[in-house]
Copies of this chain bind each other. A is one copy, B any other.
C-alpha cells in the first residue's frame, strides 16, 4: 500500500552516475568531490560542480549510510508532558544537527521512570542511530548499566560539576539573584526547587544555598516542586503560612507564577510584602500581574550547544569549547521584586 507514494510521478532522482556522465568523469570522482573535494584537479572540480548543480543532485543518504556504515540520525528525547519544555530548545538542537548533516528524530519519553528506562534501553541498543540527545534526566537504572553502545548526551548533565558555566544547568545566575534581592534589603529567603532528577534543578538549589551562606542571609526553607505552576502554588501556600519570608526564588517561571498566585490568594502582596524571582523568561512573564523578575536564557543556543556536544562525541572529537563564550543568561528585573517589606526600612 505504500507503493503509491513512490509511484506518485516523482521523477527519478539523479545519481552520481548521471552526474559523472554529464561531467565526463567517473562516478568515483563525483563521490570524491562530495566527500571533501580534495585531490581533484581544478578543471575536473569545476566540471563536477557544474554537473552537480545542473542536475540538482542530492545524495541518497540511505545508500550512503548503507555502504559507509555511518549513521546520520540522532534521536532527541523530550519530556512527554512537556508543558514546560521550550520548543525553541528543540529547534536549536535540530538546527545544529542539520548543520552537520544529521537527521533528527524526536521521541517523547513517556510513562513511569521504569517505562522510560526501558524505552531508553531500546533506543540505546538500536542499531540505526548515531547518538541520543536527551533533555530528560537519565533514569537511574540506565545510568547504572554501563553498556553505552550509542553516544548519548543528557543536556545539562555532561558537565556535572556544579554550576558548569554556560550549560543548561548553569546556576551561576542564582548568585546574582540573591545578591540583587539582598541589595533590596531582603534577608529571609525561600527556594522553590525543581525535581531533583534534573541537573538544572539541583544546581540552582545548590547555588542558592551557597549564595545564602556566602552572603550571611537566612533561608527559611525550601519546597520541592515539579516545574508546574500547581507545585508552585502549593509552595506558595507553605510560604504564606511561614512567617517572615520576604524573598522567594523559584527554579522556573511557571512555579513562580504559582507562588505569586498563592500569595495573592492569601492576601499577601507581591512585591510589597514578598518579592518573587523566576527563571526562564517565558514570554508571558512581562504581562503577568505583577510582571515577573526572572533570568533570561537563550534556550535556542543552549539546545544547539547540547547538540554540538553530542555530535562531537559521536565523532570522537573534543567537545566544542564555545561554551563560556556567550553570555546565555541575564537577569531581568520586573515588578515582582522590590524593596524588602517597609517594617525593615527606616523612614527618610
Chain B residue with the shortest CB-CB distance to A84:
B283
* Copies of this chain per assembly: 2
Docked CA distance A251–B347 (Å):
48
The answer to whether A98 has its CB under 8 Å from any CB of chain B is yes
Chain B residue with the shortest CB-CB distance to A315:
B1
Number of interface residues of A (CB under 8 A): 75
Please report which residues of chain A, range 119-169, place their CB below 8 angstroms from some CB of chain B when the two chains form the complex. Answer: 125-128, 130-131, 149-151
**Among the listed stretches A20-28, A58-66, A174-182, which one makes contact with chain B, having 4 or more residues with CB under 8 Å of it?**
A58-66
Residues of B within 8 A of A4 (CB): 315-316
The answer to whether A345 has its CB under 8 Å from any CB of chain B is no
Indicate if the CB atoms of B71 and A82 lie closer than 8 Å: no
Chain B residue with the shortest CB-CB distance to A109:
B91
Residues of B within 8 A of A63 (CB): 62, 66
Docked CA distance A291–B312 (Å):
46
CB distance from A169 to the nearest CB of B (A): 20
The answer to whether A70 has its CB under 8 Å from any CB of chain B is yes
Docked CA distance A272–B2 (Å):
58
Indicate if the CB atoms of B94 and A88 lie closer than 8 Å: no
CB distance from A26 to the nearest CB of B (A): 21
Indicate if the CB atoms of B287 and A229 lie closer than 8 Å: yes
The answer, among B6, B257, B287, B316, for a CB contact under 8 Å with A70, is B6
Interface string of A95-106 (1 = CB under 8 A from B): 100100001111
Indicate if the CB atoms of B73 and A78 lie closer than 8 Å: no
The answer to whether A194 has its CB under 8 Å from any CB of chain B is no
Among A5, A76, A88, which residue has the most Cβ atoms of chain B within 10 A?
A5
The answer to whether A258 has its CB under 8 Å from any CB of chain B is yes
The answer to whether A215 has its CB under 8 Å from any CB of chain B is no
Among A10, A76, A103, A233, which residue has the most Cβ atoms of chain B within 10 A?
A103
Residues of B within 8 A of A260 (CB): 287, 289
Given A5-B131, A257-B288, 9 additional A-B pairs, CB 8 A: A4-B316, A8-B316, A60-B128, A78-B87, A83-B282, A84-B283, A90-B90, A98-B107, A229-B286
List 6 A-B pairs, minimum CB-CB distance, nearest first.
Answer: A4-B316, A91-B108, A13-B127, A261-B287, A62-B65, A82-B87
